[in-house]
Amino acid sequence: MGAVTARFRAVKGTRDLWPHDSERFAAVERVAREVFSSYGYGEIRTPILESTELFAHSVGQMTDIVHKEMYTFLDRKGRSLTLRPENTAGVARALIERGPQNLTKPLRLWYAGEQFRYERPQAGRYREFRQIGAELFGVASPAADAELLRMLFEFLSRLGFAALTVALNAMPTGDAREAFAEKLREHVRPHAEKLGPDDRRRVEENPLRLFDSRDPETRKVLEKAPTTLECLDDESRAHHEGLKKLLEDTGIDYVERPSLVRGLDYYTKTVFEVTSHALGAQDALLGGGRYDSLIFGLGGLPLAAVGFAIGEDRLIEAMSADGRDQRKARRVFFVLPGSTEEFGYALSVARMVRAALPDAVVETDLTGQGFLKGVMRASYAEQDPDYPFDVAGKWVQIVFLGPEERKRETVEIKSSATREQTTVPLQKLGQWLQDLKQ
Ligand code: HAM
């Protein structure tokens, strides 16, 4: 019989996460929850579907994300909907809908969830990917940016990332932003005929977006362009200087990167990114910044805000590249009934093992194919990289149950590491397992 060819395949840029992968995602999200909640962040879950208009008004009509990368469709009533390409807009929409005046500030929210962007798939870049993010509302001072970055670094260091540096920049706001845009136009206009049609349109309509261009011509023209830092208004400059001082106080390594503009329109003042060498490409591990005008721009009351989002797929790929794993090492027991006759006995023994060691993995062989098959399955746990759990090496224990054991109410436990075999009466099983703990 030839191999079966799948008739249906996962959509390009999407993938299935099998247990050994999804356990890693769950483990990282567990650390996120622990660290973020210790800073007072509660989890928010917003819908994956939002109205298309929301992203046009927040992320920005001229950005690559909105212009080229959204999954947009009409629903059955002809409404234009979009699979969210990022989560900040959805959180802002939720906040306005709830009425920020009804919420205690500062308001700290975090999330983890799928995002969708129609990008060219490659390592670390997918069309469906997950982000872990956090947003802090209601604090205009740089103390908020600094605390947020402190939390981010704590999270990353809990995952084993050491010696990370944040690339930092500041965006002018208000009139200074318009003045900066005009300076950029003046700089680029003489070279406009060398640029592609998209970038030429950007020069007039939204010159800041030129910084997102991957076109080498545009990049060359921008090399000598005026920088945001030269054009900061007094308030943004004071914010930036204040933040740098706080980052030094709190021990966060940063480098100022004047070319960092970030591909979303809503940023004001602070913007930052962290890249990881493990990822090879220049793709960022995470990005974020301040967006003090967004809530007002979407029709809410003015409300200061700052946040970040981490590419969870990239984070996990970077960790795997370094051989790091956030999964908890688990003790594994295989309960092997000698035949179908011992199924009932096996189920109750397995239950006793779970009761004695709640964080153990206890798998009962349900094939009734006997010990040998069961032992083969058990050795798979230790060797197969696809096994979902991180097996604490010496902890694979095989519990044999044959007709004799059932009659005598005992179990035979064999350690796969030491090959030692022990007969344990059922009555003493709980205690015996407890003693193993030490
Ligand atoms: P962003 O820079 O567009 O910012 O995305 C944040 C992170 O999501 C990126 O640094 C990257 O790690 C990950 N990411 C983006 N696209 C992909 C992809 N196609 N495949 C895999 N990972 C990807 C935002 O989304 C903002 N909402 C961040 C923010 C929150 N700013 C303020 N609050």
Instruction: Determine which residue's CA is closest to atom 1 belonging to ligand 1.
Output: 287
Closest atom of ligand 1 relative to the 285 alpha carbon: 12
Phi-psi region of 409 (alpha: psi -120 to 50; beta: other; left: phi over 0): left
Choice among 1-5, 65-69, 385-389, 409-413 with the minimum mean pLDDT: 1-5
| Protein residue with least CA distance to atom 33, ligand 1 | 307
Provide mean pLDDT across the span 2-10: 85
Please check whether residue 336 is in contact with residue 365, taking contact to mean a CB–CB distance below 8 angstroms.
Answer: yes
Contact 109, 42 (CB under 8 A): yes
65 vs 283, more confident: 65
In percent, the amount of the chain with pLDDT more than 70 equals: 97
Q: Tell me what the mean pLDDT of segment 320-337 comes to.
A: 87
Q: Is the model's pLDDT at 5 over the cut of 90?
A: no
pTM score, whole prediction: 0.93
State pLDDT tens for residues 125-174. Answer: 999 999 999 999 999 999 999 999 999 999 999 999 988 899 999 999 99
Q: Is the dihedral of CA 277, 85, 53, 108 positive or negative?
A: negative
Residue 150 corresponds to which tokens in the numbers above? 């402190």
Contact between 251 and 275 under an 8 Å Cβ cutoff? The reply is: no
pLDDT of 1 over the 60 cut: no
Q: What's the CA-to-centroid distance between 85 and ligand 1, angstroms?
A: 9
pLDDT of residue 39: 98
User: For a pocket test of ligand 1, which of 28, 58, 115, 269 has the largest count of ligand atoms closer than 8 A to its C-beta?
Assistant: 115
pLDDT of residue 419: 84
pLDDT on residue 217: 93
Tokens describing residue 395: 């902890």
Q: How far is the CA of 260 from the centre of ligand 1 (A)?
A: 14
pLDDT (average), residues 414-426:
89
Query: For 180-215, how does the pLDDT look when each residue is reduced to its tens digit (9 = 90+)?
Result: 999 999 999 999 999 999 899 999 999 999 998 889
Q: Which of 98-102, 269-273, 427-431 has the lowest mean pLDDT?
A: 98-102
Cα distances from 422 to residues 53, 144, 335, 398, 411, in angstroms, run: 67, 59, 14, 11, 8
Stronger pLDDT, 244 or 383, i.e. the higher one:
244
Q: Return d(Cα 401, Cα 29) in angstroms, integer.
A: 38
Q: Which two tokens stand for residue 217?
A: 């011509």
Ligand 1 pocket test: pick from 70, 86, 262, 270 the residue with the most ligand atoms within 8 Å of its Cβ. Answer: 86
- Which residue of 64, 129, 214, 262 sits with most ligand 1 atoms within 8 Å of its CB, as the best mutation to test the pocket? 129
The dihedrals phi and psi of 348, each to the nearest 5 degrees, come to -75, -35
Other Cβ atoms less than 10 A from the Cβ of 219: the count is 13
At residue 222, does pLDDT exceed 80?
yes
Tokens 């819908």 appear where? 47
Ligand 1: nearest atom to the Cα of 117: 19
Residue 311 confidence (pLDDT): 97
Read off the tokens for 283: 């793709």
In this structure, are residues 138 and 107 in contact, taking their beta carbons and an 8 Å threshold?
Answer: yes
CA distances to 188, 392, 398 from 362, rounded to whole Å, are 65, 13, 10
Answer yes or no: are the C-beta atoms of 345 and 307 closer than 8 Å: no
Ligand 1 pocket, residues with Cβ under 6 angstroms:
86-88, 117, 119, 125-126, 129, 131, 133, 135, 263-264, 284-289, 307-309, 311, 313-314
- Whether residue 20 has pLDDT greater than 60: yes
pLDDT tens figures, 52-82: 999 999 999 989 999 999 999 999 999 999 9
Indicate which atom in ligand 1 lies nearest the CA of residue 87. Answer: 27
CA of 86 to the centre of ligand 1 (A): 7
Tell me the pLDDT tens digit for each residue of 224-242: 999 999 999 999 999 999 9
Which of 212, 286, 295, 315 for mutating ligand 1's site (highest number of atoms within 8 Å of CB)? 286
DSSP strand pairing (107-116 vs 128-137) = antiparallel
Report the alpha-carbon distance of residue 361 to residue 59 in Å, rounded: 45
Percentage with pLDDT > 90 across the chain:
79
Q: How far is the CA of 122 from the centre of ligand 1 (A)?
A: 15
The separation between CA 361 and the C-alpha centre of its own chain, rounded to angstroms, equals: 26
- Report the pLDDT value the prediction gives residue 281, as an integer from 0 to 100: 54
Average pLDDT over the chain, rounded to an integer: 92
How far apart, in whole angstroms, are the C-alpha atoms of residue 417 and residue 395? 7
Angle of the 197-205 helix axis to the 174-188 helix axis, nearest 10 = 140
Going from the Cα of 409 to the center of ligand 1, the distance in angstroms, rounded, reads 58
Amino acid at 336: L
Nearest CA to ligand 1 atom 2: 287
Q: Ligand 1, atom 18: nearest CA belongs to which residue?
A: 125
Identify any residues that bridge with 274 across adjacent strands, giving them in sequence order.
286
| Ligand 1, pocket-test mutation among 119, 131, 168, 316, most atoms within 8 A of CB | 131
Ramachandran area for residue 60 (φ above 0: left; ψ -120 to 50: alpha; else beta)? left
Question: What spacing in Å lies between the alpha carbon of 252 and ligand 1's midpoint?
Answer: 21
Both tokens of residue 384? Answer: 């197969």
Return the closest-CA partner of residue 132 out of 315, 312, 313, 319: 312
Rounded distance from Cα 380 to ligand 1 centre (Å): 37
Give residue-wise pLDDT tens across range 388-398.
Answer: 888 876 678 88
- Ligand 1 atom nearest to CA at 273: 10
Which residue among 314, 315, 319 is best mutated to probe the pocket of ligand 1, counting the most ligand atoms within 8 A of its Cβ? 314
What DSSP line would sit under 321-368, residue for residue?
HTT---SPEEEEEEEEESSGGGHHHHHHHHHHHHHH-TTSEEEE--S-
Among residues 175, 171, 145, 188, the alpha carbon closest in space to that of 258 is found at 171
- Alpha carbon distance 114, 118 (integer Å): 13
Between residues 420 and 88, which one has the greater pLDDT? 88
> Closest residue (by CA) to atom 12 of ligand 1?
311
Report d(CA 422, CA 413) in Å as an integer: 5
Question: What are the tokens at 16?
Answer: 């299935």
The pLDDT value recorded for residue 393 is 67
Q: What is the pLDDT of residue 2?
A: 60
Q: What separation in angstroms does the CA of 31 have from each of 256, 364, 392?
A: 29, 30, 20
Q: How far is the CA of 282 from the CAs of 123, 277, 285, 318, 372, in angstroms?
A: 12, 8, 9, 13, 50
Pair of tokens at residue 42: 């509660």
Nearest CA to ligand 1 atom 11: 311
Does 313 have pLDDT greater than 80?
A: yes
Ligand 1 atom 20: residue of nearest CA:
125
